[in-house]
Amino acid sequence: MGVTLTILSLIVLIPLTAVALKAAHQSPEAFWAAAFNDRSLAAYRLTFGAAFVAAAVNGVFGVLTAWALVRYEFPGKTIVNALVDLPFALPTAVAGIALATLYAPKGWVGQFLTPLGIKAAYNPIGVVIALTFIGLPFVVRTIEPVLRDAAEDVEEAAASLGADRLQTIARVVLPALAPAWLTGFAMAFARGVGEYGSVIFIAGNMPYKSEIAPLLIIIQLEQFEYERAATIAVVMLAVSFTMLLVINAIQAWSRRFD
Amino acid sequence: MRAVGTHRRATDDPAWTKAVIIGVVMLFLALVLVLPLVAVFVEALRKGVGAALAAISNPDALAAVKLTLLTALIAVPFNAVFGLCAAWAIAKHDFPGKAFLITLIDLPFSVSPVVAGLIYVLVFGLQGWFGEWLLDHDLKIIFAVPGIVLATIFVTFPFVARELIPLMQEQGTSEEEAAVSMGAGGLTTFWRVTAPNVRWGLLYGVLLCNARAMGEFGAVSVVSGHIRGLTNTMPLHVEILYNEYDFVGAFAVAALLCLLAVVTLVLKTALEVAQPGVRGRGGH
Amino acid sequence: MTISIRSIEKKFGRYPALNKVDLEIADGELLALLGPSGSGKTTLLRTIAGLEFPDAGQVLFDGEDVTFASAAARRVGFVFQQYALFKHMTVAKNIAFGLDVRKGKDKPDKAEIARRVEALLKLVELEGLGKRYPSQLSGGQRQRVALSRALAVQPSVLLLDEPFGALDATVRKSLRKELRRVHDATGVTTIFVTHDQEEALELADRVAILNKGQIEQVGTPDQVHEEPETAFVCGFVGEANCFDGRVGDGRFSAGALQLPASGLRDGSATAYVRPHDFVLDDAGFEVRVDRAHVQGALTTVNATTLDGRPLEISASRAEAARFAGTVRISARKAHVYAA
């Protein structure tokens, strides 16, 4: 017990305090200027926007994947099931260079996008692609157990009351999944906001355009602007904590119906 | 009411819906997950097996492999032991502030790896709290191996504990109480009763912890200083080679890391098949 | 509505759940499907509902073949064992669901739906609870919501799967009366599944007894209790002492126990005697009384025949004192079945 708390404090709590103290080690005006200048605002917009879009994409395909894994039998299901966790197991830098190569203008996928006028890599779209890769398992693995435990008798009840399959899915199945879906979405979003390794290779990292907030921290660090780096970190930490609270609130809310 | 023969049960989807959903899922997964995996190996072998092997056996690459293994060798056992202790404290005991402790353990999952690296720079870096003291005693943490290990421990902190807490909670305390009533001491009870009951969950957590420890990029990148042959882990080495346009080299080292990922997934799947109870509890 | 089940067969893998089942259910009847677990009673109920489809045979509603019609098309009301309430919907929304999913001109307007929901809440005595969520109700209340949700679509048949299985004993008794009352008020043909013979005998107009995927007997509660057609029914419905013996020359004998068994072929046979059918009789056979204990108005006597067969006798309280030491008894009624 005491050991647990000591180690936790040494490794987690004290260093986190260091960030807050460092950021507070400047005037409010300087803090504001470092936190919310045009360049950092653009970086937040891209980071949060891309994380949101990627989480939404995963929200759609994650539900379908979980549904197929739980409800259907098909050849290669075990492999598909294992593959879903690839983003957990594959180092992000590897994912980054692979995605950058695939979606570069002359890459395997990029060459088909270029004629359509779509520039994927070295563009905000690239950031979304990387974050989609990173976030997928969060959505699938949050929904899957809930779907597996969901009693099929409510679907039978809906059918016996005259609902067609679409009505059953829309009014009975999906609403019951909503808390898990929102939790998975929030987790994928939170992870996407902080992601660095897989993004920097494909993003192009152009200030004001395709530069993410974590990269901004690194750039400030390399210029020995520790206060400024800590300031951006504090903003991101605030968002992380908010997401944690949101996830906990969703789960508390969903327990109301059990 | 007409006797139209559907033969389809109320919980089944129509065949065409099944086909469409499975098709869409397969296509999406192929595009997002499989293609990158394949690309790594194809790019690594673009100039033949020889070139790839040469890139891997380059002294700098070997140093990176060594450092990665060393880091994992310290971080994973540390977090395994900590995870066991923390899960035991949380699942088998009641105390004020328990919820707060769980949140703290989870915290590293919700902090950006870059921020994780930054905090250690702020504490142990030259300008940091202990910077001068460390300099006086000729100790180096940031831009050196200890910093890399610390940052890795931070980002992989929750894996084992998270896996074990729900497992231990499910098992309750009756077996422990039985052991204690037969005269076993606290430590004996822990090693003879609690730990064996969660060994598969522990293995599961260690597996995921190890994959992340070997693959961590953001946090390690901040504290490493990128000194070739000294403070370069494999993922960092991949970045350096890639940025120098040595694509075959970058992808050859990346392919090694891919193999690690594939082995992790195979072991994880095998564990899930053999021990259905351990299957992933929540996110990572 | 009348329901005809014709030679229904259903296998799960290699395990036969239903084996050539025939059953006729009259309009407005309250029928119990009674049997031990694994007897196929739930499968039969689900086949009638369209939640399972048989491998062979037919299901007819008012003479019309609905064997493969979907559950949604059949207009049956189904009450699930675990209620299967929609937990993210209020009680009122749950009850309104079947009306709400109707399309076009079949769908009643909002006011009409609200009126019907109110009437149903009143019918099952849950007025004022329409805005609650299922998680805020007791088990018995959830059961009533499930019942009124099934009734909301004005089903042509009401099917209930172990409707009282998850409830404690007192709630179960009051809900039994409730179901009978609702059935009499609506007149809807009703079939319920149970493994509890007391429940089946108390509640149903007729009882169908299933065993190993086959119907053993269909009859009124009195018929299945007093005139069981098979050894299984005799053993399953009501209490019975069971004796293995032989039939010869129209008489059954098992040790000292002798019973008439006219019409049975010679050979080994089993006799069943209800505890209350053993009476004191000086012309009977001897048994040693081991224990007599009073249970309300009746006394249960445990005794052993001289050749060591245990048996149970049910006597009135007045007679209880006479059961002591060694007494002579005979069976005034028995059922003998060839083995």
pLDDT over threshold 50, residue A100: yes
The per-residue pLDDT for range A161-171, each reduced to its tens digit, is 999 999 999 99
Residue B282 confidence (pLDDT) = 41
Neighbours of chain B (3+ CB pairs under 8 A): A, C
Closest-CA residue of chain B to C76: B1
Burial category of B199 from C-beta neighbours within 10 Å (exposed 0-12, middle 13-18, buried 19 and up): exposed
pLDDT over threshold 90, residue B18: yes
d(CA B215, CA C214): 62
Q: Which DSSP state fits C216?
A: E
The residue of C66, C101, C147 whose CB has the most chain A CBs within 10 angstroms, and thus the best one to mutate to test that interface, is C101
Residue C6 confidence (pLDDT) = 95
pTM for this model (two decimals): 0.85
pLDDT over threshold 90, residue B101: no
**Fold type of domain A38-255:** MetI-like fold (1.10.3720)
pLDDT over threshold 90, residue A138: yes
**Fold type of domain C3-234:** Rossmann fold (3.40.50)
Residue A35 confidence (pLDDT) = 87
Q: Is C5 helix (H, G, I), strand (E, B) or coil?
A: strand
Other C-beta atoms lying within 10 Å of the C-beta of residue B94: 6
Would you call C104 an interface residue with chain A, using a CB distance cutoff of 8 Å? Answer: no
CB A92 within 8 A of CB B215: yes
- Do the Cβ atoms of A89 and B238 come within 8 Å? no
Closest-CA residue of chain C to A165: C72
Across C317-321, average pLDDT: 83
* Among B1, B5, B9, beta carbon nearest to C74: B1
pLDDT over threshold 70, residue A1: no
Residue C296 Cα distances to A210, B269, C257, C293, C299, angstroms: 86, 62, 29, 10, 7
* Among B21, B211, B217, beta carbon nearest to A93: B217
Q: Which residues contact B135 (CB under 8 A, 6 or more apart)?
A: B126
d(CA B241, CA A152): 53
* Among B14, B110, B238, beta carbon nearest to A93: B238
Would you call C79 an interface residue with chain B, using a CB distance cutoff of 8 Å? Answer: no
d(CA C259, CA C246): 10
Q: How confident is the model at residue B2 (pLDDT cuts 50, 70, 90)?
A: very low
Closest-CA residue of chain B to C156: B1
Per the prediction, chain C carries an average pLDDT of 91
Q: What's the farthest any 2 CA atoms get from each other in chain C?
A: 79
Residue A51 confidence (pLDDT) = 95
* Distance between C64 CA and the closest CA of chain B, angstroms: 8
Structure tokens at B37: 């995996």
The winner for highest mean pLDDT among A221-230, B36-45, B164-173 is B36-45
What percentage of chain A exceeds 70 in pLDDT?
96
Closest-CA residue of chain B to C65: B3
Structure tokens at A59: 């929200």
- More confident position, B280 or C175: C175
Would you call B50 an interface residue with chain C, using a CB distance cutoff of 8 Å? Answer: no
pLDDT over threshold 70, residue B129: yes
Q: Which DSSP state fits B143?
A: T
pLDDT over threshold 50, residue B281: no
Per the prediction, chain A carries an average pLDDT of 89
Residue B242 Cα distances to A97, A212, B45, C167, angstroms: 8, 20, 15, 67
List CB contacts (< 8 A) between C88 and chain A: 175-176, 178, 257
Residue A248 confidence (pLDDT) = 79
Q: Per mean pLDDT, which range of A114-128, B104-118, B230-244, C143-157 is the poorest?
A: B104-118
d(CA A128, CA A122): 11
- Do the Cβ atoms of C84 and A175 come within 8 Å? no
Residue B5 confidence (pLDDT) = 47
- Do the Cβ atoms of C71 and A156 come within 8 Å? yes
- Do the Cβ atoms of B10 and C70 come within 8 Å? yes
What percentage of chain A exceeds 90 in pLDDT?
59
Backbone phi, psi, residue C28, to 5°:
75, 5
List CB contacts (< 8 A) between B18 and chain A: 72
pLDDT over threshold 70, residue A146: yes
- Do the Cβ atoms of B127 and A226 come within 8 Å? yes
Q: How confident is the model at residue A86 (pLDDT cuts 50, 70, 90)?
A: very high
Closest-CA residue of chain A to C155: A161
pLDDT over threshold 50, residue C249: yes
- Do the Cβ atoms of A162 and C153 come within 8 Å? yes
Burial category of B135 from C-beta neighbours within 10 Å (exposed 0-12, middle 13-18, buried 19 and up): exposed
Q: How confident is the model at residue C217 (pLDDT cuts 50, 70, 90)?
A: very high
Q: Is C18 helix (H, G, I), strand (E, B) or coil?
A: strand
The per-residue pLDDT for range A211-243, each reduced to its tens digit, is 999 999 999 988 888 889 999 999 988 887 888
* Distance between A177 CA and the closest CA of chain C, angstroms: 10
* Distance between B139 CA and the closest CA of chain A, angstroms: 18
Across B10-34, average pLDDT: 92
CB B257 within 8 A of CB B235: yes
The per-residue pLDDT for range B194-227, each reduced to its tens digit, is 778 888 889 989 999 999 999 999 999 999 877 7
The per-residue pLDDT for range C18-45, each reduced to its tens digit, is 999 999 999 999 999 999 998 999 999 9
pLDDT over threshold 60, residue B4: no
Residue C322 confidence (pLDDT) = 87
* Distance between A9 CA and the closest CA of chain B, angstroms: 9
* Among C77, C86, C150, beta carbon nearest to A172: C86
Please give the class, per CATH, of domain C239-338. Answer: mainly beta
pLDDT over threshold 90, residue B229: no
- More confident position, B284 or B189: B189
pLDDT over threshold 60, residue C298: yes
pLDDT over threshold 80, residue C267: yes
Cβ under 8 Å to B: C residues 247-286: none
Would you call B32 an interface residue with chain C, using a CB distance cutoff of 8 Å? Answer: no
CATH 1.10.420.10 is the classification of domain B49-274: no
Would you call C135 an interface residue with chain A, using a CB distance cutoff of 8 Å? Answer: yes
Would you call B8 an interface residue with chain C, using a CB distance cutoff of 8 Å? Answer: yes
Q: What is the CA radius of gyration of chain A?
A: 21
Would you call C37 an interface residue with chain A, using a CB distance cutoff of 8 Å? Answer: no
Structure tokens at C204: 């149903």
- More confident position, A154 or B100: A154
* Among C52, C53, C64, beta carbon nearest to B1: C64
Would you call B1 an interface residue with chain C, using a CB distance cutoff of 8 Å? Answer: yes
Would you call B9 an interface residue with chain C, using a CB distance cutoff of 8 Å? Answer: yes
Burial category of B262 from C-beta neighbours within 10 Å (exposed 0-12, middle 13-18, buried 19 and up): middle
* Among C51, C53, C69, beta carbon nearest to B1: C69
